[in-house]
Amino acid sequence: MAAMEPLGLRTRFRSFIWDSDSHLKSPEERKFLRKLDFGILTVSCLGWLLKYLDQSNLANAYISGMKEDLHIMGNEYTFMGTCYVIAYALGQIPSTLVIQKIRPSYYLAFCEIGWGIWTFAQAGATSSQQMYAFRFMIGLFESAFFPSLLYLMGSWYTKTELAKRIAIFHLTGSIGTAMSGYLQAAIYRNLDGHAGLAGWRSAFIVRIMCIFKSPNSWLYIVCGCMTVPCGFLLLFFLPDVPANSRAWYLTEKEKAFALERVIKHGKGQPTGKIDLALLKRTFSRWHWYWFVLGYVLYGSSCAATGYFGIWLKAEHFSVTQRNVIPSCGSLINIVAIFMWGFLSDLTGSRFLWVFIPLTYGLIPNGILAVWPPSIKLKEFAFLTGGVQLMTAVFYTWANEVCKEDNEERALVLSSMNGLQYAVAAWLPIVIFPQTEAPTFRKGFPGTFGLVIAALVVIVMIKLLVDRDERRDLARASVGDEETEAGQQRTSGQEVDMKSKEDTLWAYGQPQPTPQQQPMASPIPTTQTAAVVPTSAAAIQIRTDHPVKAQAELAPGECLVKLHCTGVCHTDLHAAMGDWPVPPKTPLVGGHEGVGTIVAIGNNTTHSPVKVGDRVGIKWLADSCLNCEQCRKGREQNCPNAKLSGYTVDGTFQQYVVSYVNHVTPIPEGFDSNAAASILCAGVTVYRAIKYSQTTPGDWIVLPGAGGGLGHLAIQYAKVAGLRVIAVDTGADKKELCLSLGADKWVDFKESKDIVAEILAITDGLGAHSAVVTTASSSGYQQAIEYLRSGGTLMAVGLPGKAALEASIFFTVFKSISILGSYVGNRQDATEAVEIAARGQVKCSFALKHLADLSEVYEGLTNGTVAGRIILEMPN
């Protein structure tokens, strides 16, 4: 996008009244946002307006003759609302999960048309029982709309844009409520009794579509402007999500920019994975519990104004007044809703503009709880009760707090609305029974108490958000310091105080010194280990391999009891000794272990980990952290680096010695087997993609895509917004690659010309990058040919002593970059593990035992292993 425009008066004014950072945006970005607003806001506002027309029509119909025509008795009117609310609540969470699998534009269009059909059915109701069924079906079809649109807006808009747009979307509900009153009043005056229909029945007919024949000529005039056109508008205007948008009004450049924009703002992209891992990580965080609780309390506290019409009827206001006066309250709501959203985006604060409106809610709810004799005072309370409606800001807050995990965000948003409606299904029956109308001596005091409870929860959310932000800042500061400058590992040497403080606060909290650590469990003197006595010799499973005692651990060393370990081609090369740099022998291989620290060397000061922590052991076991390579963030290229399972014994044993400054903490709730799969393969491909010089929307080719590295590379590439061409062979690997999100598949055995096939896929231009993870030299040769001008070849797979024979002419002529990418540093490892822990990368692995290692090596040699192999440690 082009550079921003000069900061003139017009630009300043636009930044004030609309997006506060408008002056920082280029004309192209503002044009993109106008298109996006046209697509999302138009159809979302229209659909939400129709939803509230329908919801308000029930109340208006009740006070305009439906009660008498259907002989509604006792709490039957309340039960109608309850049927709607039950269905609406039940459909919320499934709907946001469905749109992870089906395009939102398709699903929401289907639901829009469905609710129109059932709205039409209400016009023919002859009993309360029929109305129960109709209201249930309407609630079910309407349930998808609100949470799905909130999710979609959160997927496209940034922090300075989101709140006011959700506010505009939300305030159309108040417009619908206001319109419903005026519309019902007009219908009552002009259409009551027309063609044998009572006026209240006509209120429902206004919402129908032209698919049913009717003798009422006026029906065809109104029906064409409602539900079915809205359904088609959703189909054609909703842009879905940035990762897979097909919006006709956005150019390909704008779609790529949209994806790049949201990734830059830290928004997690859809993975399409709805599994137990999603539930596990969602319910292991605080977001779901506190946001849902806060919204349930807040939403329930807003119930009082819904009984305005009933109070007006009890005070003998006319039918027209009963419909029109509450509409004035809706107009006040419109102003308040937009004002809170506008101020929230302008100031950048979410908490403040949730807390202030909710605090005001104490006034009208307090008046109604006291129930003073003054009619004017009660009318004031009903009219201004909606000033507390900060729904848009609350949902914006939840959208932003959960932005890194796309599926968790969808689940939290739908749970907030769904569980609030679930409570609304029974709460009115308990505290707002029709038999207590209009004073509702339990209802109004109840909503006053709910406001107070909601305020307490809002403050708690603020404290938790601030805590997380402090921790993230601490982690970022430590990560930057380590990556850019490095830290000298303490091995009895002196270090400066700043270095000590940075290490002390690693991972966001002070770590105990060894003297503060809990006592470790008894450590055996021998263990089971897989040992290669000499290069290319058969593996020996020994049960008497020594374990290093705690007293023998050097400062900075730690002893880790392993739960599991991964296996990769590097382990096979180490066992065979066929690389130019020979490994140590005898050798315990392995470099993808996950386990628990059971001991730390004496005199280790300010360790970033402690006994009892679950950590990962990766290829880079240790580095000096003080040489030129380490200071530049290339710790893996340190001349004094120690390599797990190559220059030092690795993870094919029950206990392994590692180093406190290089073990990788494993996030709580993340499966150890999955974490082991990430520590080598995941880190390696993540770094390669990170430095592949690609941008969202680019084509990337992954030779060896069905293997241990490749299947993870597909997922990291999709997280980065890239289009993936998977190259491998076999039906099983094809199924695996496509299921993980690969856009295209090329079978190198069946293809007559791999280069020509890839060029055809990329419109003859070639791929932007290739990350070669295969151990075959042919993958490198072909990559040079199918890369486009300016493309990048990331060399990852290590095919023994093979050489890369590239055409110098075409490499120069096409400006091809060839970059070697060798595992990753500590920061790369932390990032790769955290992405996987959020569920954005799923590991495909098979579990085997340490004794099966020879069999696993045979499978790697034959190329029959799909995904990763994880070895479980013997007890």
pLDDT in tens, 535-575: 989 899 999 999 999 889 999 999 999 999 999 888 999 99
pLDDT at 499: 34
Q: What is the mean pLDDT of the chain?
A: 82
Instruction: Note whether residue 508 is domain-resident.
Output: no
Q: Which two tokens stand for residue 839?
A: 């569920």
pLDDT at 220 > cutoff 70: no
Instruction: Extract the runs of DSSP E, i.e. beta strands, from 46-138.
Output: none
CA dihedral 399, 667, 679, 489 (to 10 degrees): 120
Of 193-202, 221-230, 396-405, 562-571, the poorest mean pLDDT is in 193-202
pLDDT at 775: 65
The answer to whether the CB of 237 falls within 8 A of the CB of 374 is no
Instruction: Give the domain-ending residue among 468, 495, 528.
Output: 468
Q: Are 646 and 680 part of one and the same domain? A: no
pLDDT at 769 > cutoff 90: yes
pLDDT at 53 > cutoff 70: no
Q: Are 608 and 684 part of one and the same domain? A: no
CA atoms in the 13 A half-sphere facing the CB of 840: 25
pLDDT at 451: 97
Instruction: Note whether residue 731 is domain-resident.
Output: yes
The CATH number of the domain holding residue 653 is: 3.90.180.10
pLDDT at 519: 42
Instruction: Note whether residue 501 is domain-resident.
Output: no
What number is the average pLDDT over the span 247-260?
Answer: 87
Domain that holds residue 657: 520-672
Cis peptide before 438 (omega within 30 of 0): yes
pLDDT tens string 598-630: 999 998 888 999 999 999 999 999 999 889 999
pLDDT at 454 > cutoff 90: yes
The answer to whether the CB of 110 falls within 8 A of the CB of 235 is no
What number is the average pLDDT over the span 276-301?
Answer: 94
Q: Are 654 and 680 part of one and the same domain? A: no
**Which residues 6+ apart lie within 8 Å of 628 measured at CB?**
none
Distance CA 202, CA 183 (A): 10
What number is the average pLDDT over the span 807-826?
Answer: 86
pLDDT tens string 512-532: 333 334 444 588 999 999 999
CB atoms within 10 A of CB 492: 10
Q: Are 723 and 850 part of one and the same domain? A: yes
Q: Are 564 and 685 part of one and the same domain? A: no
The CATH number of the domain holding residue 826 is: 3.40.50.720
Query: What one-letter code names the amino acid at 340?
Result: W
* Strand order across the beta sheet in which 540-546 lies: 540-546, 526-532, 587-588
Q: Which residue did the predictor score with more confidence, 376 or 810?
A: 376
pLDDT at 105: 93
Q: Are 698 and 760 part of one and the same domain? A: yes
Query: Which range, 56-65, 264-273, 584-593, is most confident?
Result: 584-593
Distance CA 772, CA 755 (A): 14
The answer to whether the CB of 663 falls within 8 A of the CB of 560 is yes
pLDDT tens string 706-761: 887 888 999 999 999 999 999 999 998 999 899 999 999 999 999 989 999 999 99
pLDDT at 691: 92
Instruction: Note whether residue 490 is domain-resident.
Output: no
Instruction: Note whether residue 587 is domain-resident.
Output: yes
Instruction: Give the domain-ending residue among 638, 656, 672.
Output: 672
Helix (H) and strand (E) counts in the chain: 34, 18
Residue of 703, 758, 714, 756 whose CA lies nearest to 738: 714
Of 205-209, 325-329, 456-460, the poorest mean pLDDT is in 205-209
The answer to whether the CB of 734 falls within 8 A of the CB of 706 is yes
Q: Are 601 and 543 part of one and the same domain? A: yes
What number is the average pLDDT over the span 403-420?
Answer: 92
Q: Are 645 and 617 part of one and the same domain? A: yes
313-316 contact pairs (CB < 8 A, 24+): 313/63, 313/438, 314/437, 314/438, 315/375, 315/438
Q: Are 244 and 125 part of one and the same domain? A: yes
Residue of 83, 79, 95 whose CA lies nearest to 141: 95
Q: Are 597 and 699 part of one and the same domain? A: no
Instruction: Note whether residue 497 is domain-resident.
Output: no
pLDDT at 595 > cutoff 60: yes
Instruction: Note whether residue 552 is domain-resident.
Output: yes
The CATH number of the domain holding residue 352 is: 1.20.1250.20
Instruction: Note whether residue 262 is domain-resident.
Output: no
According to DSSP, residue 682 is labeled I
Please tell me the pTM assigned to this model.
0.57
pLDDT interval class at 419 (50, 70, 90): very high
Q: Are 633 and 690 part of one and the same domain? A: no
pLDDT at 152: 94
Per the structure, how many domains does the chain have?
3
Q: Are 458 and 594 part of one and the same domain? A: no
pLDDT interval class at 231 (50, 70, 90): confident
pLDDT interval class at 580 (50, 70, 90): confident
